[in-house]
């Protein structure tokens, strides 16, 4: 490791020396505290135990669990060894979890007790996994987490360059299968510095961690806050009443928001009468109404942004009030351009695909060299998102390219093809088209327009439950509309453009009967 390299483990070492006994992590449910110095000590002991278990440079560490101190420590121990974190969305189905662990070639897997049954069911499909351990020390049939913590007074981290692999985050299934995006230490550290700068994070802040550590927003907000010396007030799962109590009682000042999180907090604050004015910095995606209500009731600042897992979360950012409706201006370490279908820059004020380059761009998709090459063509990362710049350089998000259509219910990424494939498994379905529609709770909802096979009957609710058994339940449609005949192209495939034009209203309800 060169003198100029700065990995995530060096962030932990720096903060242990700089902040010492200052609280770094507070677990809301259990009440556990850990100082910055204790985080370093526990990280070293865990890393020593992992090394003794045969985990080293490049090995993948799978994690299926909710946010916890143990989960957070695994990121640090992984960084110390030059290993790679493979965090898994626990909301996925068993088959999807198996795919991601196998695709990432996990060598060791940690899991919460509530997911041990799922892990047991998919073990036969995970040939690379050598060890299974619990994220807890109690009520588990697996070896406890503490069994890997060994004395580490003389622990020395591995020498690794900053561009070494650090974390694989699987994105939504754009073409029927998830893609594992590989991020480096340099990606992580630089993104945290950008977020610290943009939001003026400091050691006076308290980050209310509501997003999961498998999500790029949850991971980067947590690491950025930690890097800034802020305390992390962690919740294993979001609950509006508990969040309001923590903001009012523990002076939580920062959070990352996806609808409906902030709206639920505001409603609960009004209902309970509890003061949440300590919450002064919120970044995320939400409706103008919710943002305005938050800022007027707390005096806080909402930050708008654009980014992807592939761009280390952040590409553009600004205070919402600087240009309402925009996604902000490019961060210091990102070059952003808008191009047409032939990769030629578009004119001022015109809409084009958002392409990005700079040191925050991910290293590529694991096991998918052709996808990586296509994404990186002409030496730019192609996001698949459309945008336009105004004369002051503020980016306005204009949706997805038709070939990369994406639905984002509550901050999760869902590609229509993935839902359509699950729907078509039902024996009564002849054709379907899935797309996003406005939703009052999730900002964007999932709608399925379906044509039944002759003589078949099916209710929307039955179909929704069927899909929820095949893929993650957050991917199932909230709205289903049955039609007598689907508009078709000359090749017999559904005419997506015409279907969306005719049936874009989300009015159909889960109780709608088949025709």
| pLDDT value of residue 513 | 41
Place of tokens 């925050």: 360
Per-residue pLDDT of the chain (515 residues; tens, 9 = 90+): 667 899 999 999 999 999 999 999 999 888 899 999 999 999 999 999 999 999 999 999 999 999 999 999 999 999 999 999 999 999 999 999 999 999 999 999 999 999 999 999 999 999 999 999 999 998 889 999 999 999 988 899 999 999 999 999 998 766 668 899 999 999 999 999 999 999 999 999 999 999 999 999 999 999 999 999 999 999 998 999 999 999 999 999 999 999 899 999 999 999 999 999 999 999 999 999 999 999 999 999 999 999 999 999 999 999 999 999 999 999 999 999 999 999 999 988 999 999 999 999 999 999 999 999 999 999 999 999 999 999 999 999 998 887 677 888 877 888 888 899 999 999 999 999 999 998 888 888 999 999 999 999 999 999 999 999 989 888 999 999 999 999 998 888 899 989 998 998 766 554 444 43
Same structural domain for residues 368 and 436? no
CATH number, domain at 462? 3.30.300.30
Q: At what angle do helices 288-298 and 261-272 cross, to 10 degrees?
A: 40
Does any domain span residue 266? no
| pLDDT value of residue 443 | 80
Structure tokens given for 372? 């990586």
Starting at the edge strand found earlier in the chain, the sheet holding 443-452 runs 429-439, 443-452, 479-483
Q: Are 460 and 480 in contact (CB under 8 A)?
A: yes
Same structural domain for residues 93 and 195? yes
| pLDDT value of residue 442 | 82
Does any domain span residue 254? no
| pLDDT value of residue 497 | 87
Computed from CA positions of residues 136, 138, 140, 144, in that sequence, does the dihedral angle turn out positive or negative? positive
Same structural domain for residues 485 and 400? no
Coil, helix or strand at residue 107? strand
Q: At what angle do helices 185-199 and 8-19 cross, to 10 degrees?
A: 50
CA dist 461 → 423, 453, 473, 502 (Å): 13, 18, 13, 22
Does any domain span residue 165? yes
Same structural domain for residues 233 and 349? no
Same structural domain for residues 393 and 426? no
Look up the pTM and report it.
Answer: 0.87
How far is the C-alpha of 451 from the C-alpha of 425, rounded, in Å? 13
Does any domain span residue 441? yes
Does any domain span residue 97? yes
Same structural domain for residues 70 and 113? yes
DSSP per position, 468-512: HHHS-GGGS-SEEEEESS--B-TTSSB-HHHHHHHS------TTP
Starting at the edge strand found earlier in the chain, the sheet holding 165-171 runs 131-134, 106-111, 60-64, 84-87, 165-171, 179-184, 364-365
Tally of domains in the chain = 3
Same structural domain for residues 178 and 192? yes
Structural domain including 465 reads 409-502
Is residue 260 reached through a cis peptide bond, with omega within 30 degrees of 0 on the bond before it? yes
Q: b/e for 218-252, b at 16 or more Cβ within 10 A? A: bbbbbbbbbbbbbbbbbbbebbbeebbbbbbeebb
CA dist 419 → 134, 198, 462 (Å): 32, 36, 15
| Domain-terminating residue out of 337, 372, 404 | 404
Does any domain span residue 281? no
């Amino acid at each position: 490791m060169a003198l100029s390299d700065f990995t995530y483990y060096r962030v932990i070492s720096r903060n242990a020396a700089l902040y010492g006994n200052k609280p770094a992590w507070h677990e809301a449910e259990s009440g556990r505290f850990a100082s910055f110095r204790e985080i370093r000590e526990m990280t070293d002991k865990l890393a020593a135990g992992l090394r003794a278990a045969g985990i080293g440079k490049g090995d993948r560490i799978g994690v299926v669990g909710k946010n916890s101190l143990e989960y957070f420590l695994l990121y640090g121990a992984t960084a110390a060894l030059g290993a790679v974190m493979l965090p898994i969305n626990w909301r996925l189905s068993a088959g999807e979890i198996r795919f991601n662990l196998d695709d990432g070639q996990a060598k060791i897997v940690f899991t919460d007790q509530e997911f041990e049954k799922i892990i047991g069911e998919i073990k036969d499909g995970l040939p690379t996994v050598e060890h299974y351990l619990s994220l807890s020390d109690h009520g588990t049939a697996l070896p406890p987490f503490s069994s890997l913590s060994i004395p580490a007074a003389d622990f020395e981290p591995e020498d690794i360059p900053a561009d070494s692999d650090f974390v694989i985050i699987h994105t939504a299934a754009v073409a029927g299968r998830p893609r594992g995006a590989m991020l480096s230490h340099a990606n992580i550290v630089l993104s945290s510095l950008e977020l610290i700068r943009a939001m003026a994070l400091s050691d006076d802040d308290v980050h209310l961690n509501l997003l999961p550590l498998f999500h790029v927003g949850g991971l980067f907000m947590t690491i950025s806050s930690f890097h800034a010396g802020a305390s992390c007030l962690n919740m294993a799962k979001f609950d509006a009443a508990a969040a309001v109590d923590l903001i009012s009682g523990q002076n939580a000042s920062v959070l990352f928001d996806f609808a409906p999180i902030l709206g639920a907090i505001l409603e609960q604050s009004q209902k309970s009468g509890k003061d949440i004015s300590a919450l002064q910095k919120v970044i995320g995606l939400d409706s103008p109404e919710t943002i305005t209500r938050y800022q007027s009731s707390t005096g806080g600042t909402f930050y708008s942004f654009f980014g992807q897992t592939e761009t280390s979360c952040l590409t553009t950012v600004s205070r919402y009030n600087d240009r309402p409706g925009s996604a902000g201006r490019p961060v210091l370490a990102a070059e952003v351009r808008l191009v047409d279908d032939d990769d030629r820059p578009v004119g001022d004020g015109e809409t084009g695909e958002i392409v990005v380059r700079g040191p925050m761009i991910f290293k590529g998709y694991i096991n998918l060299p052709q996808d990586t090459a296509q994404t990186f063509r002409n030496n730019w990362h192609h996001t698949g998102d459309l945008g336009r710049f105004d004369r002051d350089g503020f980016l306005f998000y204009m949706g997805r390219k038709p070939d990369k259509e994406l639905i984002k219910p509550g901050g999760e990424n869902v590609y229509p093809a993935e839902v359509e494939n699950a729907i078509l498994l039902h024996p009564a379905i002849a054709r379907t088209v899935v797309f996003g529609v406005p939703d009052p709770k999730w900002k964007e909802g999932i709608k399925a327009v379906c044509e039944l096979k002759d003589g078949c009957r099916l209710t929307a609710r039955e179909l929704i439950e069927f899909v929820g058994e095949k893929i993650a339940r957050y991917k199932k449609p909230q709205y289903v509309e049955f039609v007598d005949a689907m508009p078709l192209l000359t090749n017999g495939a559904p005419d997506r453009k015409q279907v969306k034009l005719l049936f874009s209203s989300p009015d159909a309800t889960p109780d709608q009967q088949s025709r």
